[in-house]
Chains A and B, each alone.
Chain A
Amino acid sequence: MSRASGRRRGTAVVRGVIGIAAFIALAQIVGETGIIKQNVLPLVSTMLAQAARLAGNGRFLADIGATLEAWAAGLAITVIIAVPAGLLLGSVPVVRVATRAVVEFLRPIPSVAFILLVNLLIGPGLRMTLTVIVYGSLWPILYNTMAGLDDVDPVAKETLRAFGFGRLAIIRFVSLRSAAPHIATGIRIASAVSLILAIATGYQTGRINGPGIGAFIADANSGAGNTPLVLGAVVWTGLLGVVLNMLLVTAERLLLPWHKASLMETS
């Protein structure tokens, strides 16, 4: 069984590498033949070389550090707010019904639109970035926590209730554990949102807002615009997203061993 799944994974890795290589080759050919003009979109090789050079750029590394800091702090605050809120909304129907209109109205307001307002309200800085991040990444965790509570096996809940356990004990021993995979999924989505907003805020407000990848891209784009530099940074943000997602998946696997089956294929 394990050997078979090992071979399966080997095949997947080989095919994945072939896929990436084929894509890079194709993109390079498209650039070389001039289907897309090189002054509009530089060659893939130029892009990758630029990305490699950025790894030795002290300022860019400091910017990555600042973005990661905003990401981590924003995600932590969001989890601390959203999971209890989700538990409350998910387990007390009255609260859920009462807040429905407010939540449904607030949720679709684009977090990006808030950047302008929050910038005026709080002024540039990490606090403003964190406010935007928390607002944007709140929803996936909130909704997933609630969906998780909906999916709790009612028989298990009824059983505990029949044995005289209180509401809190049921939440603690059944609901929370059963909803944990959903919450973890919500956190993973929120992580992606958090990274995007950390960068978007920096890009929108520029360097006044402090260091960050967003500010770096805004700088690279100012004036005549250094497209290869922008794209080099974009490649790094993509890699950053992949790595952060992998970290969260690993953490999920360690913390929630009972649902490892779901992590075989994380998309």
Chain B
Amino acid sequence: MSERKRAPRRLPSRRGGDSRRGSKPAERSEALARRKTQRAAAAAPPLGGGGRRGPKPAARQRGLGAKDTWRGGKHSWLSRWVVLACGVALWQLWAGHRHSAFFPPPSTIWSAMHQKWFNGPAGHLFLNSNATGNILPSLGRIGLGLAIVVAIGVPLGIAIGRSRVLMDYLDPLLQFFRSIPVVTAAPVFIALFKIGTQMEVATIVAGTIWPLLLNTIDGARSVDPVQVETARAFRYTAWVRLRWLIFPSTLPSIFTGLRLALSLSLILMVFSELVGSSNGIGYEMDQANSAFNLPDLWSALVLLGILGYLMNAILYLAERYVLAWHRASHG
């Protein structure tokens, strides 16, 4: 009895042919990944919770089947920063030569950024009060918005993805609302929530829920049916199946959706602050724009680039940590 209650460590995974009905790109790549997993016999099982406790992949497959969209060795890490640095240096030379008002040299942009945000005390990570007054609220809105989106999107997505009936009823509505650009709904949000954080968070939620929801639905739908049937045959309860099979199998898709939602949330944060706010990065951009202050405008763009890069990197690390078992199949 207690044996049965314990979560399954490993369900027998199917070997050989891939006879799944769908061959959607995402689904297919999953199938491919799974095949690779089976080839690299020591890879962690797709099931088994966080997987960190699971066996480490003994041999990571590199070369032929290895997937490294952006990953490379240490050399590549160095060379790509060198290229970026060269680009910035060229820009500096060109802009110093041209004296264009529209393309200030990076040194001007940097000093504008320093003036605006980073001349604070070292104890505050060099952030001055203007930075804490504008960057932190913006980040807070993104954080709150994404938290709400995950809280709504993941359970709803898994429910819709696992239930044919729910999918049938809701699909046309989802398709319609997904197609509405949030931007056009901004006047409505302003009327509903008044100008301020509430309205900005609502805009972020309304825009970023779709990639997360649709990806979660896709992921939940393409859980290996054989594994589901096996778990059912072993009489695991619905909760155990959800917690230990369906949720972990959906996690990669959830992270894909989250990655899309993250970059979208940055866009919507800026947009909602441009439309109506009294602080935030978008508000500062609006100010710079109406004052025709191009260095300030550029420095806000650079800051957004840096923030986006950092947020992506954090998400990537989280993904690597949470999906260690999945990555094993990606080499």
Contact = CB atoms under 8 A, between A and B. Distances in A.
Contacts of A64: none
A-side interface mostly: helix
A265 to B, nearest CB: 8
A97 B270 contact: no
A102 B173 CA distance: 39
A117 to B, nearest CB: 6
A248 B2 CA distance: 53
Q: Which 9 pairs from chain A and chain B are nearest by CB? A: A108-B308, A241-B179, A15-B168, A110-B267, A19-B169, A97-B76, A196-B181, A262-B24, A101-B84
14 contacts: A16-B171, A18-B169, A19-B170, A23-B173, A104-B309, A108-B312, A110-B270, A181-B25, A182-B25, A196-B181, A204-B274, A221-B187, A227-B191, A238-B180
A108 B179 contact: no
A225 B304 CA distance: 32
Contact of A238 (B65, B176, B271): B176
Given A19-B169, A237-B179, A262-B22, A150 B67 contact: yes
A114 interface: yes
B324 interface: no
Name the residue among B72, B172, B187, B217 with the largest chain A CB count within 10 angstroms. B187
Interface stretch (A55-63, A165-173, A228-236): A228-236
B102 interface: yes
Interface stretch (B118-126, B225-233, B294-302): B294-302
B81 A101 contact: yes
Contacts of A20: 172-173, 176
Nearest to A147: B69
Contacts of B263: 107-108, 110
Nearest to A260: B23
Interface string B257-292: 000000100111111001000000010011001001
Contacts of B102: 120-121
Contacts of B5: none
Contacts of A203: 183-184, 186
A145 B171 CA distance: 27
Nearest to A200: B183
A261 B271 contact: no
Nearest to A102: B84
A113 B22 contact: no
B21 interface: yes
B83 interface: yes
